Amino acid sequence: MVSNMPLTQLRWGLLGTARIHERLIPAIRATPRGTIAAVASRDGARAAKFARQWSIPRSYGSYDELLADREIDVIYNPLPNSLHAEWSVRAAALGKHVLCEKPLACTVQEVDRMREAAARHGVVIQEAAMMRFHPQTAKLRELVAAKTIGELRCVRGVFAFVLSRAGDIRFDRALGGGSLWDLGSYCVSFMRTVLGQESHEVHGWQQSGPAGADTSFAGHLRFPNGVFGEFFSSFETCPHIEADLLGSAGRITLDVPWGSRPDAVSRIRVWSADDSGPQGTFSDASDSLRYEEFAFERVNAYCEQIASMTATLLDGAPPVITLADSRANVATLEALARSAAEGASVKMQAPDERSEEALKKGQAPREV
């Protein structure tokens, strides 16, 4: 539900001075219907320096001061994962829309608080999983739905790099850190989006670091109709991104599945079976596959994300990522983390069926 305020241009406020702003600030400024009004940090001098560096009109030495600014319409929240819910709910209570970095929260209970706050105060809270806004994602869903590679059997993904910076918050579990919650979140969201389904059983394994967060994570997901998902996320391997889909009649690979590289061409590569008849060996089958590719040149997923949020708030367009969607992703991540901790598979509960009408009325969230 969008605020009744007659907006014609969005005035953005930035929480914190994280490096991700280097990608979001140009994206906001690339749209004619957006401007950056202010930035806040717990360190006032740091906020002021950041504001000068990026030519931002106002800076604040606390997040509360920024939220109290009446000339801000929407907040971008890239704080540590453990602070996503708290500051998004506070922003909503003051009538601010929120674009919050992924994962939206650390627990489904936190997501429920965010959903309730958004409904009660008539604002939009949306997860900033930028790859979901890239046109490549919509095309991939179209190809899968059309059974271009037959019946889908397996979806796989890898997102890994070496994180060597001492003290990085992503090593700290208390702050919502871990490769699962940072990198694995993309992989899980990708699988769920492509399939348009929720997994009903997951299993995870992890390598933990000294601050409790996983430094490497391997996950398996079992979806309805016999589809399997598997992924690997890591802060301790050479940089690598990979995603592919295997079907009964072909396969699909992606050049740039998770990251946003507007300087590169993102390609969906499709190998599908022709109608030459049955095959009985590996070489027979692989030799008969026809090839097709779909290219996306100079597409910036962050710009697509900002444009989509703008269209939702100013034009009433439906959000690309609903809060129910984000809730299901968090539930899956929670189940994977629990599996790794307990050393056993975890059966997934049915998604929350609470209606949007109930949300609009501000009813309390149902525990699941």
**What token pair was written down for 19?**
């490096």
Closest CA to 360 of 109, 159, 117: 117
Instruction: Give the SS3 label for residue 332.
Output: helix
Question: Exactly one of 49, 96, 102, 139 is catalytic; which is it?
Answer: 102
Q: Return all residues near 194 (Cβ < 8 A) that are at least 6 apart.
A: 140, 141, 144, 155, 245
**What token pair was written down for 261?**
């590289």
Provide the pLDDT for residue 225.
86
- Residues of CATH 3.30.360.10 domain(s) within the chain? 135-259+264-297
* Separation in Å, CA 64 to CA 123, 125, 163, 183, 279: 18, 18, 31, 29, 65
Residue 275 has pLDDT above 60, yes or no: no
- For residues 269 and 212, give the distance between their C-alpha atoms in angstroms, rounded to a whole number: 38
- Residues of CATH 3.40.50.720 domain(s) within the chain? 10-131+303-360
Beta-sheet pairing, 34-40 with 58-60? parallel
Provide the pLDDT for residue 354.
44
Residue 111 has pLDDT above 50, yes or no: yes
Instruction: Give the SS3 label for residue 256.
Output: coil
pLDDT in tens, 315-366: 999 999 999 999 999 999 999 999 999 999 999 987 654 444 444 444 333 3
Query: Looking at residues 62-84, what average pLDDT do you find?
Result: 97
Instruction: Give the SS3 label for residue 244.
Output: strand
**What token pair was written down for 81?**
């994962």
Q: Could you tell me which CATH class the domain 135-259+264-297 is placed in?
A: alpha beta
- Burial class from Cβ neighbours inside 10 Å (0-12, 13-18, 19+) for residue 353 reads exposed
Residue 260 has pLDDT above 90, yes or no: no
pTM (two decimals): 0.90
Provide the pLDDT for residue 138.
95
Q: Could you tell me which CATH class the domain 10-131+303-360 is placed in?
A: alpha beta
Query: Looking at residues 24-44, what average pLDDT do you find?
Result: 97
Q: What is the DSSP string of 37-59?
A: EEEE-SSHHHHHHHHHHHT-SEE
Name the percent of the chain lying above pLDDT 90. 81
pLDDT in tens, 124-154: 999 999 999 999 999 999 999 999 999 999 9
Known catalytic residue at 102: yes
